[in-house]
Structure 1
Amino acid sequence: MARRTGTRAGRREGAWQWSRTAHTRRVLLEAARDVFTEKGFAEAGVADVVERAGSSVGSLYHHFGGKTELFLALWEDQQNADEEQASSAVARARAAGQDDPLELFVAGARAFLEGSWERRDVGLLLLAGDGPPGFDVLRRGRSREWVRQNSVLLRAGESALDRLTVSVLTAVIGEARREIVVADSREEADKLIEAAIGLIRRLGA
């Protein structure tokens, strides 16, 4: 029985350590989000982030490795949130009986654009072009993957016209996001979302 108790205690200790690590990472990421969006990547310093987080430079380097890695982790968080919001909307539309590829695409696009407004502070940062060396290469690679995923969702063929259509529809979402993150109000953002959805339906018809 003592061995089993020890195992349970070890598991509790491991879970506590994981929870503490996850909490520390989250606090550092939130602080980085505030500092980067206020100062931009180039002007922000590690000292600014750890001061905002109430942490230490050693802890930041332990969890992330440096300022660049913090920025990239923030970007990944944004990407994951965007993808989760869009894919969940598509799944709900399918569950409700929707099977039309364009309408499924619209459901995902609407959710993505709504999330762009909700996370507009990070969106502004990422669209400003102020990032670490090599970030543009990563972003272009993610954009190509985004087009590929949209092609699958739209059940597009292999013709040049199909490829062009998917690229244009994806570009509409990207350009709409640029306008949404600088909108003055939620009302203006909603109008931009509806305009983008209308354009997608016309171009995809």
Structure 2
Amino acid sequence: MPRQLRDGTAGGPRQWSRTAQTQRALLDAARQVFTERGFSDASIADIVERAGSSVGSLYHHFGGKSELFVALWEQHQLAHEEAATKAVADARNKGVTDPGQLFETGARAFLHGSWQRRDLTLLFSSGDVPPGFDMMRRRRGREWIGQNDSLLRLTDRPEDRVYAAILTSLIGEGAYEVAAARTRRQAEKIIDAVTEYARRLMAGGPWHPGIEPPSIGTTAGAGLGLDGIH
């Protein structure tokens, strides 16, 4: 996150506007350079040249190349969260209460965001990342699991936690495949496939020892259709 936002530096509206413009220009330039060359081969000189800024300004606002990469990732994650939250809220306002339908609605918003920002999705999945980034990404993944726990109204039992983790991982892996699609039409087919797999997993609910889950063949899709929530 930019230092201006982390430190809460005070300033008038004009100063804030200049700061925001500089940060935006650096983030936009970093996005271009990172997605073209990868993190390791990207240079600060290239980023500031494209931003029309200076090395000193980059270090002032972000602290360095790694911090700039992380700031891009944080904005990408925030966009995912805002889109999923809005989609779920809109579905609830339309009267949808079934947890499975709400999860699918949020998942679709997440996956569509992965296509819209596919350059960033592929960048952050490439493995060419700053030191410590994978740990941050795992921590964020655990947060997503916790949010899905709540959305699906699960208990704190280990098997429920694993169930939420499997569903969350499915959406995460699906996001990469969506971003790698060659066309929007192909991406939409992948989104349909991912949500169908999620629907099948949700058909029987989480496994609990001593309780046999119902057959997928007789319950798949029950109460989890897409009608009315596209």
- The bucket for the TM-score relative to the shorter chain is over 0.9
Letter in 2 for 1:27: A
- Whether 2:43 is the aligned partner of 1:45: answer yes
Q: Which runs of 4+ in 1 moved over 2 A?
A: 158-161
**Aligned-residue offset at 1:168:** 1.2
- Whether 2:140 is the aligned partner of 1:179: answer no
The 5-angstrom pairing of residues 67-78 of structure 1 reads: 67-78=65-76
Q: Which of 151, 154, 167 is the aligned partner of 2:152?
A: 154
Cα distance in 1 for partners of 2:139, 2:91 equals: 28
The 5-angstrom pairing of residues 120-139 of structure 1 reads: 120-139=118-137
User: SS at the partner of 2:13?
Assistant: helix
**Aligned-residue offset at 1:160:** 3.1
How does the TM-score come out when normalised to structure 2? 0.82
Cα distance in 1 for partners of 2:162, 2:45 equals: 46
User: SS at the partner of 1:155?
Assistant: coil
Letter in 1 for 2:125: L
User: SS at the partner of 2:41?
Assistant: coil
Cα distance in 1 for partners of 2:125, 2:22 equals: 27
Cα distance in 2 for partners of 1:193, 1:104 equals: 16
- RMSD of Structure 2 on Structure 1 (CA): 1.0
Aligned match of 2:225: none
The 5-angstrom pairing of residues 15-54 of structure 1 reads: 15-54=13-52
Aligned match of 1:96: 94
Cα distance in 1 for partners of 2:57, 2:130 equals: 21
Aligned match of 1:57: 55
**Aligned-residue offset at 1:171:** 1.2
Q: How many residues align?
A: 193
Q: Deviations over 1:119-153 (max 9, x none)?
A: 00011100001111111111111111111111011
Which of the pair is proportionally richer in helix?
A: 1
Cα distance in 1 for partners of 2:157, 2:68 equals: 40
**Aligned-residue offset at 1:117:** 0.1
How does the TM-score come out when normalised to structure 1? 0.92
Cα distance in 1 for partners of 2:157, 2:14 equals: 54
Cα distance in 2 for partners of 1:124, 1:202 equals: 27
Identity across the alignment (%): 59
**Aligned-residue offset at 1:76:** 0.4
User: SS at the partner of 2:101?
Assistant: helix
Q: Deviations over 1:87-145 (max 9, x none)?
A: 11001001111111111111100000000000000111000011111111111111111
Cα distance in 2 for partners of 1:194, 1:167 equals: 20
**Aligned-residue offset at 1:172:** 1.0
